[in-house]
Amino acid sequence: MIRVDLRSDTVTHPTPEMRRAMAKAEVGDDVYGDDPTTNRLQARAAEMLGKEAGLFVTSGTQGNLVSLLAHCTRGDAFLVGDRAHIYQSEAGGTSVLGGIVMKTVPNNADGTLNPADIRSAGAKGDYHKPRVKVLAIENTQNLCGGVALSPKQVAAHVEVAREMGLKVHLDGARLFNAAIYHRVDARKLTAGVDSLTFCLSKGLSCPIGSVICGSKEFIDEANRWRKILGGGMRQVGIIAAAGLVALDSMIDRLAEDHENARKLAAGLAEIEGLELDPKSVQTNIVRFSVPSGKGVQIARGLYDEGVYINPGEMSLRVVTHYGIDREDIDYTLEAARRVVAAVMGKSVSSPKAGRNGRAAAGQNGASARTAAARR
Ligand SMILES: Cc1ncc(COP(=O)(O)O)c(C=O)c1O
């Protein structure tokens, strides 16, 4: 039984207010541009992020794909961090479907890319080379531990890109987490970027969807690509309604997730065998190292205690979100102390008991593998 699901902020469920808004959403055929709720969401998102227009898409992956397809043609290239989600975890979609080359630039631990690396990877070449068109950045940077680029850091990337005649695309799947961390209006983190995508279905708790924002011209082109990819949906206002609730009421509360992540990080750092620097935790993602080869066992042990995390060999990630409270963090830390001690061959003190005094449901390794498959 899942007691605490820390696999991702994508596991969040819609809030009661979202469900009410979805039930009474005014709808139309969005492929005709007739869905009033979706139109409101797109306009609201664009306004909040200082862009001319917005486009609702099915997922963050589709948002990035549509954006890069709209910026590039076959044989073009874009620069992307070597730890970026677009490069690591989107199945090479831009190359598969768009014939677009990904040129990686090393990510620094703080999520940034070095200007010298951007200049060298993006330098114009003769006809032997793919033509580099775009610089893609990510904020917050998931694989770097949810670190949040500041307005100044974003501006520095934009400046180098401009100097080189490149467009800038921002994968802002968790953009509002970055804005909350830096205590800035999100527009400060999108200034100068040509396109961006942010996810409604992560910390903002919506069941489905992301929004792309950019100029009207860019969004027209993105709309064409969304259609090509089969992403034109009809009475999608039912889903967009949840997005409007999220933009109104779910952004400020991300601070709670960040606080819970810091508390979790501080507790995990005290467990012998786990390694992390709690000061490096900025938003809702905590990454930590485990002794080599023990990650799967630790994840499985936690699973047996009702705490779900994605298994990994040497490094594990936990993500806080709506629905996780301080009590869940305490429970997770207690479970982690027991599990890590057991995996490390130390004595285990307290019995496996849940918050309500009930024994946590035991699951076997096969279930842990199922969790991995859902990653
Ligand atoms: C940084 C980042 N970008 C994009 C995505 C893709 O979002 P989706 O799962 O909605 O396709 C994710 C998903 O975790 C992500 O972490």
Domain at 282, CATH number: 3.90.1150.10
* CA of 9 relative to ligand 1 center, distance in Å: 10
**CB-based contacts of 209: which residues, under 8 Å, 6+ apart?**
56, 57, 58, 59, 199, 200, 201, 239, 240, 242, 243
Percentage of residues in the chain having pLDDT higher than 90: 89
Q: Which residue has the tokens 């809030």?
A: 15
Nearest CA to ligand 1 atom 4: 60
Helix axes 216-228, 60-71, angle to 10 degrees: 110
In three-state secondary structure terms, 292 is coil
Tally of structural domains, the chain: 2
Q: Model's pTM, two decimal places?
A: 0.92
Q: Which residue has the tokens 């009474």?
A: 24
Q: How many residues does the chain have?
A: 375
Residue 367 binned pLDDT confidence (cut-offs 50, 70, 90): very low
C-alpha distances in Å from residue 120, one per residue of 15, 79, 132, 192: 47, 11, 11, 22
Q: Which of 66, 48, 47 is nearest to 57 (CA)?
A: 66
How many Cα neighbours within 13 Å face the side chain of 237? 20
**Residue-wise pLDDT tens digits, 142-171:** 999 999 999 999 999 999 999 999 999 999
Nearest CA to ligand 1 atom 7: 60
* CA of 216 relative to ligand 1 center, distance in Å: 24
Last residue of a domain, one of 226, 249, 272: 249
The CA R_g of the chain, rounded to the nearest whole Å, is 21
CB atoms closer than 10 angstroms to residue 252: 9
For residues 125 and 25, membership in a common domain is answered with yes
| Residue-range definition of the domain harbouring residue 273 | 253-373
Average pLDDT, the chain: 92
Q: pLDDT value at position 346?
A: 77
Nearest CA to ligand 1 atom 8: 60
Please work out whether the CB of residue 67 comes within 6 Å of at least one atom of ligand 1.
Answer: no
For residue 1, pLDDT over 90 is answered with no
Q: pLDDT value at position 350?
A: 46
Please work out whether the CB of residue 135 comes within 6 Å of at least one atom of ligand 1.
Answer: no
For residue 79, pLDDT over 90 is answered with yes
| Residue 354 or 216, more confident | 216
Please work out whether the CB of residue 60 comes within 6 Å of at least one atom of ligand 1.
Answer: yes
Interatomic CA distance for residues 56 and 65, integer angstroms: 13
How many Cα neighbours within 13 Å face the side chain of 8? 15
* CA of 372 relative to ligand 1 center, distance in Å: 16
- Whether residue 94 lies inside any domain: the answer is yes
Q: pLDDT value at position 61?
A: 98
* CA of 173 relative to ligand 1 center, distance in Å: 6
Task: Compute the Cα dihedral for 38, 42, 47, 52 and give only its sign.
Answer: negative
For residues 299 and 206, membership in a common domain is answered with no
- Whether residue 6 lies inside any domain: the answer is no
For residues 60 and 194, membership in a common domain is answered with yes
For residues 80 and 128, membership in a common domain is answered with yes
